[in-house]
Structure 1
Amino acid sequence: MLITFKTPSYADITMFGDVAKALIKMMGHSGTVPGAILAEDVPRALERLRDAVARNPNAPLNPERGDDDDEDARRESVSLAKRALPLVELLEAAARDEKNVMWEQS
Structure 2
Amino acid sequence: MIVFQTKNHADVSMFDHVALKLIGLMGHSGSVPGALTEEEVEQASSKLSEAVLNPSAQSGDSWDDDSVSLAHRAQPLLDLLDAAKRGHNHVIWEKSLR
TM-score normalized by structure 2? Answer: 0.87
How many percent of aligned residue pairs carry the same amino acid? 48
Gaps of 5+ in 2: 57-61
Q: What is the aligned-residue RMSD (CA, Å)? A: 1.8
Greater share of strand residues, 1 or 2?
Answer: 1
Aligned to 1:39: 38
- The 1:53/1:76 distance shift into structure 2, 3 A limit, reads closer
Instruction: Please list every run of at least 4 consecutive aligned residues from structure 1 whose deviation after the TM superposition is greater than 6 angstroms.
Output: none
Asked which structure has the greater CA Rg, the reply is 1
Paired residues, number = 91
> Deviation of residue 45 (structure 1)?
0.3
> Deviation of residue 60 (structure 1)?
2.7
Q: What are the equivalent positions in structure 2 for 1:1-106 lying under 5 Å apart?
A: 2-56=1-55, 60=63, 77-106=67-96
